[in-house]
Copies of this chain bind each other. A is one copy, B any other.
Amino acid sequence: MRVMGVDPGLTRCGVGAVVGRTGVPLELIAVGVVRTGADDPLPDRLVALEAGLEHWLDTVRPEAVAVERVFSQHNTQTVIGTAQASGVAILCAARRGLPVSLYTPSEAKAAICGSGTADKAQVGSMVTRLLRLKEMPKPADAADALALAICHVWRGGNQQRLASALAKATRGRAR
């Protein structure tokens, strides 16, 4: 499964793509950020973000996209901009017909580090190890995007295994 993760933001929108499936080592496809100018007007920033994400989707050609879920209890100064950026990211993926999954930061951390309260350094360290990278992806938004993509590979894989196990069990009972 080729998955692109997006850690939405206006100043730095983290993007990271991996290929993998449960039980097989993950491979990095690409990682980076889409940046927009902090002093630019909001409409220009959203247009630039859309163009940047479209370029990533064209390049990475993912089968699924995982986007971090935005909560309003986050920093209220920036939460509206982050929500707008997430809306653009979800839109770009969904109108291509790609399945979009939303994960909370805790879900991504728990999937990668075993704890929903792991800090940025732990997430970066685990992403680096899981993808066998020489150094930690920077900035943290880029590492977070990879964590979302990995979370989706594993949870997607597990969900599929669970679904097929359940289907098998149901067929067994039906016989």
Contacts and interface: CB of A to CB of B under 8 A. Distances in A.
A90 B88 CA distance: 10
A102 B72 contact: no
Interface string A25-52: 0000000000000000011101100100
A162 interface: no
How many chain copies does the complex carry?
2
Q: Which range holds the interface residue count of chain A?
A: 20 to 34
A83 B47 CA distance: 16
Contact of A47 (B84, B91, B102): B91
Interface of A: 42-44, 46-47, 50, 70-73, 76, 79-80, 83-88, 90-91, 93-95, 100, 102
